């Protein structure tokens, strides 16, 4: 099968989040796709099958199948529009999370995802111990969102993954804070690498992803959370991993728009 590695949410090689993209002629058994994802050892590997007018899309981490993945969806759209359906402006993917549309707009790939609005939950000592910081608030959807005070704290935190895996009832932990500009001015500079509305980091050690470089799916929760806090629907976010990435976000009520760029790193073949 044709295989690609894409750096998503960036236009620079070796930045953003890596995703493997496999173009299939037909569906493979789930255990084979899981083995390929484990062999690739990227945060996610996407598997695409072309249908009549749409594409089937599934995502696998090295350990488990994932119900929603932003950066691998962006990478898939980039590969389809580059090598399968050149020039396509809108792509429809059928996924475990329902139909997902990706639209090319002014050099960005804009994804239309479901909102995952978080609900407040009780703070526990384990939450602060796991990230080594005082937690101001905790909110839960699929992921546990932990609010801390500053961008600098998010950037510099060193998590305890063993403790993190003891936190019950969450797939992953997202640590977030207002961007420096948002904290000071209530607005944001939208240039990549500049000041942004909010920042985050994402940890899913139980899924074989200790830290994900840039995570689209977590922004299904972060966007409604920060849109309400900052009283604005157009937001720019930065994920503060070592590789880093910029996400252009829009709150649309029951849906969110998440946009970013992508660049091709590798293309080749997987031999089965």
The residues annotated with a catalytic role in the active site are 44
Q: What angle do CA 256, 216, 96 make, to 5 degrees?
A: 80
Closest CA to 59 of 267, 225, 270, 216: 216
Give the strand pairing for 234-239 and 198-204.
parallel
Indicate left, alpha or beta for 222 from its phi (over 0: left) and psi (-120 to 50: alpha). alpha
Contact 175, 131 (CB under 8 A): yes
Q: What is the 3-state secondary structure (H, E, C) of 153-217?
A: HHHHCCCCHHHHCCCCCCCCEEEEEECHHHHHHCCCCCCCCCCCCEEEEEEEHHHCEEEECCCCC
Per DSSP, which regions of the chain are E strands?
A: 2-8, 17-24, 44-50, 55-60, 65-66, 90-95, 98-105, 108-114, 119-121, 137-140, 144-147, 173-178, 198-204, 209-212, 234-239, 245-252, 255-260, 262-269
Residues in the chain, total: 272
Rounded distance between C-alpha atoms, residue 60 and residue 95, angstroms: 12
Contact 259, 110 (CB under 8 A): yes
Contact 155, 127 (CB under 8 A): no
Rounded distance between C-alpha atoms, residue 58 and residue 171, angstroms: 18
């Amino acid at each position: 099968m044709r295989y690609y590695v894409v750096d998503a949410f960036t236009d620079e090689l070796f930045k953003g989040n890596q995703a493997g993209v496999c173009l299939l002629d037909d569906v493979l058994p789930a255990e084979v796709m899981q083995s390929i994802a484990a062999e690739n050892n990227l945060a996610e590997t996407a598997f695409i099958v072309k249908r009549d007018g749409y594409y089937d899309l599934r995502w696998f981490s090295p350990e488990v199948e994932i119900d929603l993945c932003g950066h691998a969806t962006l990478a898939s759209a980039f590969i389809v529009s580059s090598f399968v359906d050149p020039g396509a402006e809108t792509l429809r993917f059928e996924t475990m999370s329902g139909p997902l549309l990706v639209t090319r707009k002014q050099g960005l790939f804009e994804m239309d995802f479901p909102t995952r609005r978080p609900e407040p939950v009780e703070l526990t000592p384990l939450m602060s111990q796991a990230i080594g910081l005082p937690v101001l608030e905790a909110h839960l959807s699929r992921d546990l969102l932990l609010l801390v005070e500053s961008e600098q704290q998010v950037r510099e935190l060193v998590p305890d993954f063993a403790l993190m895996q003891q936190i019950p009832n969450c797939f992953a932990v997202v640590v977030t804070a207002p961007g420096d500009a948002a904290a000071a001015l209530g607005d944001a500079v939208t240039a990549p690498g500049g000041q942004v509305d909010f920042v985050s980091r994402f940890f899913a050690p139980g899924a074989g992803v200790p830290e994900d470089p840039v995570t689209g799916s977590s922004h299904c929760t972060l966007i409604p959370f920060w849109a309400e806090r900052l009283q604005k629907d157009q937001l720019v976010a930065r994920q503060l991993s070592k590789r880093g990435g910029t996400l252009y976000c829009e709150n649309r009520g029951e849906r969110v728009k998440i946009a970013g760029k992508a660049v091709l790193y590798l293309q080749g073949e997987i031999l089965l």
